[in-house]
Amino acid sequence: MLRNANGHFDWQFITPPVHSTFMGKGFQTIERHVDERLENETEETLNARIKADIVVMCQDRGLPAEGEKKQLIKYLLDWQKAKPVPGPSTPQLYCPEIPVVSKKAAINTVYLNSLLMDANFQGEITYDQIQVGRKLGSGGFKDCYAGKYKGEDVAIGQLRIQNFTETDIKEMKHEIDVLKQLRHENIVRFVGVCTNVRHLCIVTELCEHGDLYDYMRKARRPTFGRMIMYMHDIALACSYLHTRRPSIIHRDMKSMNILISSDDRAKINDFGLARIRPRANASMHTQCGTPNWQAPEFWTPNPRYTEKVDVYACGLIFWEILSWADLGYPYHNLTEHQLYEAVRDKDVRPPLDRLRKYPTSLLSLIQDMWRKDPRRRPTMSYVVDRLAEYLQ
C-alpha cells in the first residue's frame, strides 16, 4: 500500500508466490527460490510498502514475520537472491491454507424543540429540506434511510416517536449534544436534526457500506493491510474521544456501531450510551451496553469503570476483524448467564488458535486490550501507535 499525493492510501493486493519444485502433492522443496512476484522488487520498492504488506509477503513464503520492517525486508531480499533462508533447508511439508470464509409526554413540535434544542443550536433542518431515499434498515425505535440534504448524500435516522417518553427525548438530546461537538474523520459526522412532530430525524453523513458486523458477512476477506487500517481507524476515533477534555466514553463499542464508508474507512457511530467523564480519575457508575462486548467491570450491582471499557470492547472488535466473521461474534454460543460466568469468573476470551498466522505482537496487543483488570489494559493512544507500525 502506497500513500498518494493526496495523502490517501492506494491499496496493492499481494498474490501468493510461485513455488519452483514440488515433490508430489503437498510437498515443496526450498533449495532454490524462483519467485516471479519478487523479481522486480528492490529494497526501495519494498520499503515503500506498509509493514502489514511486508508481513503477508513473508508469511506467504514461510519466512519469519515478526520483527522490525527493515529486518523483514532483508528476509525477502535474501529469499529473492536464493540465499539461505532462516530455518531448516530440508524438504518441508507444504500445506496450502484453506480459506475460512415514564409517563407519556405530550409530543408536539414546540415541545420537541424545547427539549432538543438550545439557544446556540445551529443544526436544525426542516423536513422539506431533506429527500428520503431507500431504506437502509431498522433497529429499536428508528428507521434509517439514505437520502439527500442540500445535495449531499446523508443518512436519515427517522425515529418512531408515538411511544416516546420525556426520558426518551432527553436521551436523544444527549446523543445530539455529544454528536454535534465531535469532529474527527473516523467518527460519523453529525449534519443536523429535524424536529417536525411527524418526522423526527437525526441526519448524519452516509456510510454506504453499512455497519461492520454486516459488512464482514457479505464482503470478501480483505488484505491484512486493510484489516489493520480498519483497526487503526477505530483506535484513532476512540483515542480522540478518550483524550478530549472532558473525555468521552462510548460504552457501547461493538461491530454493529462501526460503519464503513464508500472510501473504505471505519467510523464510530451511535452515541446514545456515551457519557462524558468530568475528570481524568473519575469512574462512571451506570450499567449499559451489549453484554457480548461488555467489559467484566460492568457486571456488578454498582459498576465502576473508566474509558478502559472501550479498550476491552475494541479488543473484541479487532478479533472479529481478523477472523472476518468466520468465528462468529464474541461468545455467540453462550447464553447471557454463561457469558458472565465464563468471562468474569473463568477469564474466558475468544479463541486465537485460528489466528496464529497473524503477528504474535498483534495478537498479544489484543490480549492486553481484553485483560480482566482494566488497569493492565493499554490506552487507545498506545494501541494507535502499535497499529501504526504496520502502516509505515
Over residues 301-344, the pLDDT tens digits come to 788 889 999 999 999 999 999 999 999 999 999 988 899 999 99
pLDDT digits (tens, 9 = 90+) for 373-383: 999 999 999 99
State the average pLDDT for the chain: 79
The domain limits of the chain are 2-93, 109-205, 218-391
Run of H or E residues at 133? strand 130-139
- Using pLDDT thresholds of 50, 70 and 90, give the confidence band for residue 162: low
Inform me whether the pLDDT recorded for 230 exceeds 50: yes
Taking a C-beta distance cutoff of 8 angstroms, is the pair 194, 125 a contact? yes
Q: Which DSSP letter does residue 348 get? A: -
Cα separation, 249 vs 228, in Å, equals 23
> Residue 111: what pLDDT?
58
Q: What angle do CA 116, 121, 126 make, to 5 degrees?
A: 75
SS3 at position 263: coil
Phi, psi angle pair for 170, to nearest 5°: -65, -35
> Residue 222: what pLDDT?
97
Inform me whether the pLDDT recorded for 117 exceeds 70: no
> Residue 2: what pLDDT?
43
pLDDT digits (tens, 9 = 90+) for 49-103: 999 989 988 888 888 989 999 999 998 888 877 544 343 333 333 333 333 334 4
Cα separation, 91 vs 196, in Å, equals 73
> Residue 273: what pLDDT?
53
CA separation, residue 155 to residues 183, 213, 234, 274 (Å): 17, 18, 20, 20
7: left (phi over 0), alpha (psi -120 to 50) or beta: left
Between the ranges 140-144, 243-247, 286-290, where is the mean pLDDT highest? 243-247
Largest CA distance in the chain: 81
Q: In what order do the strands lie in the sheet with 199-205?
A: 130-139, 142-149, 152-159, 199-205, 190-196
Mean pLDDT, residues 25-48: 66
Q: Does residue 303 have a cis peptide bond before it, meaning omega lies within 30 degrees of 0?
A: no
CATH fold, domain 109-205, is: Phosphorylase Kinase; domain 1 (3.30.200)
Poorest-confidence range of 19-23, 157-161, 216-220? 19-23
- Using pLDDT thresholds of 50, 70 and 90, give the confidence band for residue 141: low
Mean pLDDT, residues 111-128: 65
> Residue 289: what pLDDT?
53
Burial of 241 (0-12, 13-18, 19+ CB in 10 A): buried
Which three three-digit cell numbers place residue 31?
533449495
pLDDT digits (tens, 9 = 90+) for 168-204: 677 677 777 777 888 999 999 989 888 776 778 889 9
Per the model's pLDDT, the better-predicted residue between 290 and 124 turns out to be 124
Which residues are designated catalytic?
252
* Alpha-carbon dihedral sign for residues 335, 341, 344, 347: negative
Q: Could you name the CATH architecture of 218-391?
A: Orthogonal Bundle (1.10)
How many Cβ atoms are within 10 Å of 108's Cβ, its own excluded? 11
> Residue 16: what pLDDT?
37
Taking a C-beta distance cutoff of 8 angstroms, is the pair 390, 381 a contact? no
> Residue 371: what pLDDT?
96
Is there a common fold for 109-205 and 218-391?
no
Cα separation, 275 vs 174, in Å, equals 9
Helix, strand, coil % in the chain, rounded to nearest 5? 40, 15, 45
